[in-house]
Amino acid sequence: MKSRDDLYKATCEWLKERGIKIKDIAELSYNLQHPYVPKMTMEDAIESVNSVLKKREVQNAILTGIFLDKAAENKIPDEPLLTRLLTDDPLFGIDEILALSIVNIYGSIGLTNFGYLDKEKPGIINELNKNKKQGKVNTFLDDLIAAIAAAAASRIAHQTKDDEIFDN
């Protein structure tokens, strides 16, 4: 059985292998939350993203989603699933469901941020969408990144408000 720390490291490695750095996600969180929390720094954003990535359910969602993207790239799933994974049909819905499992852990306020990122596609999310045109499959990854960034921003919103530490 891997320890909690090993799973965090594995999750970061899987993300890195797909071209995602912690800093890219933290930038999304920073841009979402900085207007409401002016004293917030990029370091705060990075710390918050790392906290999100240390949660087991978040790790499980990321590992599962990246596996599905890679399996589709390698044409492993049978039809009719394969086509659905390859085309990132907005009605597929399972990618949003995995993302939602991340967002929900920090309360329902993350939903707004997630929906906004998923529609506007700023920064690294836009990069992931461009890669799709070059044969990469990021059906799950783009939603997962939006979810992690939204969750990390929500976590800072919770902490800022009368010193609640979103713990235990």
98 lines the binding site for a second copy (CB under 8 A):
yes
Interface mask toward a second copy for 122-141; x: CB under 8 A: --------------------
CB-based contacts of 20, cutoff 8 Å, min separation 6: 124, 141, 145
State the residue for tokens 């990029």. 42
Q: Which of 61, 128, 144, 151 binds a second copy (CB under 8 A)?
A: 61
33 lines the binding site for a second copy (CB under 8 A):
no
DSSP state of 164: -
107 lines the binding site for a second copy (CB under 8 A):
yes
Structure tokens that stand for 134 in this block: 């070059």
Q: Residues binding a second copy: what is the number (CB under 8 A)?
A: 64
CB of 30 to a second copy, least distance (A): 16
Q: How far is CA 7 from CA 56, 57, 59, 143, in A?
A: 8, 11, 7, 21
d(CA 168, CA 112): 24
Structure tokens that stand for 31 in this block: 């841009």
Binding footprint of a second copy on the chain (CB under 8 A): 1-4, 6-7, 10, 51, 54-57, 60-61, 63-64, 67-68, 71, 76-81, 83-84, 89-94, 96-98, 100-101, 104-105, 107-109, 111-120, 155, 157-158, 161-168
